[in-house]
Structure 1
């Protein structure tokens, strides 16, 4: 029995993120899997996020004499035990009923933090009261500044969230063909075949029906199927294609703590974010779920680091599936990385314990990779530790 109450008895054992991905695929209905794992259109951006790491090899120096690698980082004045944060992911309760609350508790156990999505299955207040530390809050700038956004900021501040992450790469919803083909459109479309596909996964089905964590809890108080439909309607009504930098600057003025802009791929946009007062940026293409084809996050990272890395925290989100991936991003200048899908895989397999297991795997792989490279700390990484393969 593990700390969160699940028995991780699997055959064969799950020893890497890809193992958890395969197990999650078996655990989830097809339409839910398409939502959690798919990307936009032909998924070139999704694929590019992964293959971008193959453009780099890690430099190995032997007999370095390091008995153990330090993998901790400091972000916005807070020390974390590993350079991996949990990305904001919407409707996480579809992967497992424990959702964001379970993931946040697993993050705490690993010594890191969750970024709670506006579209989360657990509310701002539920996660705040159910955890010990101040996790981060991610805001979709939906609706009017004096209405929805102000309400979200006030709720997050009153609940003790200190770091705000504003996602700016969703002026419209990306064309997620795989979701639409399987019925996870707006709204979801259920057919007898799709219901049967869910019914053959009784554990997932039971958790969904009993706990009804299928709604965006921050935008509706209605649970269950009716709440899911209402959530989608609110999202579609509130999404704003006309937002400008002035709108983000107004949010910066309303937030006193660390302020991070997520969805940056161009160094000029990174500079603009810092100019309006952002203390951090996340280099991200929304996991390949928005513009397709967009530049892979890792490919965009060096130019953003060169543009603002001396003035702001730079995080990398997209494609990290192993400790060596994380080390590559850190060597390119990221202060830390964010992971979304890997933790959803763990959640789908075993709830909070699955998330803790995935984070444990990444931590062990980062430490092992550094030791094999002859590097004593993530703080020592630089581009000198990389060899370009193209």
Structure 2
């Protein structure tokens, strides 16, 4: 068994053990992938301010997100096709999150359905919805989420249409994979993945197949988004979706202070500063670079979280120091899932918590809730994004 000390270790195993089209789906961005790269490289520009001779006993990485106690200021973000990274992947990730004491978010584009996850887990989870044109489907899927006990709705607002991801097009991404010669050759080297997939019935988009009559090809994310995603999305539409849900709502995909102000005015319980992991508008700013301007814009009107680029506990520390009240991770936990299944998701969370705890101690802070701007050193001009 390899020694796992960082997320990068899990990423290497993920690549080795998962079919290329699904690994590439997780580890890619749109067009030139500039934003995908800068989500992580911009974190590296921020340094941590070390302090010494401070009593570091009794430290805690615990806090609250959306009023929920969490052992770590992290929620597992919605990730499509998670059940193709590993058989029953959404169930395994949700179980790991619940045991660790952090929230899990199920994607509309999941392989395991809402009911699959609810039937195989004990803790409430969050459900993510895209802004679709089909209000009948919207109504029914929200009813299903309520019936399953989902405790919050995540509305993704930055995917009215799908950003072009070259690798997905070249790989012919589908769920399940179509058996072309290149795919068959790749799968022949991923026998463990294949055996697990043969042992599950969950190989299609579980929240769509059997629930929508008009989807031309429910195996293809690209065809579904082209057909069903609402390109006329506006703030009135978002409010209607919030009203349809009637519970706690998180708006994910905010990159501009003015949009953050509108989200707060709409009554969002939390907003997520996110560029969809660099998978939508290539050339957009990294999430960490715009975070402080959004925090300044909304103040205490709503919780502000950060998503996109987090690969270490130090990244979590930097986000919290710059004003985030929590974070979301996608690739970090998917790397763990693809590498080692449920145990890999747990390992990813353990790695992040240990890095956060150690780094907190070395910068003189005992509680993640006390992190502040003085804990980090930011390059001149780094935050001058909307002036």
Is the pair's TM-score, using the shorter chain for normalization, greater than 0.5?
A: yes
Cα separation, 2, equivalents of 1:60 and 1:228:
51
Counterpart of 1:218 in structure 2 is: 207
| Offset at residue 385 of structure 1 (A) | 1.1
Counterpart of 1:5 in structure 2 is: none
Choose which of 143, 157, 164 in structure 2 pairs with 1:175. Answer: 164
1:92-112: CA deviation from partner (whole Å, max 9, x where unpaired): 011100311100000011111
Choose which of 111, 130, 144 in structure 2 pairs with 1:121. Answer: 111
Counterpart of 2:120 in structure 1 is: 130
Between 1:330-339 and 1:153-162, the stretch displaced more is 153-162
Choose which of 87, 91, 109 in structure 2 pairs with 1:97. Answer: 87
| Offset at residue 229 of structure 1 (A) | 2.5
Cα separation, 1, equivalents of 2:224 and 2:259:
29
> Would you say 1:197 and 2:186 are equivalent positions?
yes
| Offset at residue 76 of structure 1 (A) | 2.1
Q: 1:341–1:230: structure 2 CA closer, same or farther, 3 Å change rule?
A: closer
The count of residues paired between Structure 1 and Structure 2 equals: 376
Cα separation, 1, equivalents of 2:56 and 2:199:
50
Counterpart of 1:258 in structure 2 is: 248
Q: Secondary structure at the match of 1:107?
A: helix
| Offset at residue 88 of structure 1 (A) | 0.3
Cα separation, 2, equivalents of 1:15 and 1:365:
10
Cα separation, 1, equivalents of 2:4 and 2:130:
34
Show the 5 A alignment for 1:350-369. Answer: 350-369=340-359
* Equivalent pair of 1:34/1:184 in contact (CA under 8 Å): no
Cα separation, 2, equivalents of 1:221 and 1:360:
37
| Offset at residue 233 of structure 1 (A) | 4.6
Q: Secondary structure at the match of 2:128?
A: strand
Cα separation, 1, equivalents of 2:346 and 2:217:
29
| Offset at residue 255 of structure 1 (A) | 2.5
* Equivalent pair of 1:124/1:218 in contact (CA under 8 Å): yes
1:138-192: CA deviation from partner (whole Å, max 9, x where unpaired): 11111233x1111121111121112111001111111101211222279966521
> Would you say 1:29 and 2:43 are equivalent positions?
no
Counterpart of 1:19 in structure 2 is: 9
* Equivalent pair of 1:216/1:231 in contact (CA under 8 Å): no
| Offset at residue 69 of structure 1 (A) | 1.8
Cα separation, 2, equivalents of 1:77 and 1:256:
17
Structure 2, gaps ≥5 residues long: 381-387
Counterpart of 2:384 in structure 1 is: none
Counterpart of 2:142 in structure 1 is: 153
Cα separation, 2, equivalents of 1:24 and 1:229:
23
Counterpart of 2:151 in structure 1 is: 162
Counterpart of 1:344 in structure 2 is: 334
Scaled by the length of structure 2, the TM-score of the pair is: 0.93
| Offset at residue 257 of structure 1 (A) | 2.1
Counterpart of 1:295 in structure 2 is: 285
* Equivalent pair of 1:140/1:166 in contact (CA under 8 Å): yes
Show the 5 A alignment for 1:35-74. Answer: 35-74=25-64
Scaled by the length of structure 1, the TM-score of the pair is: 0.92
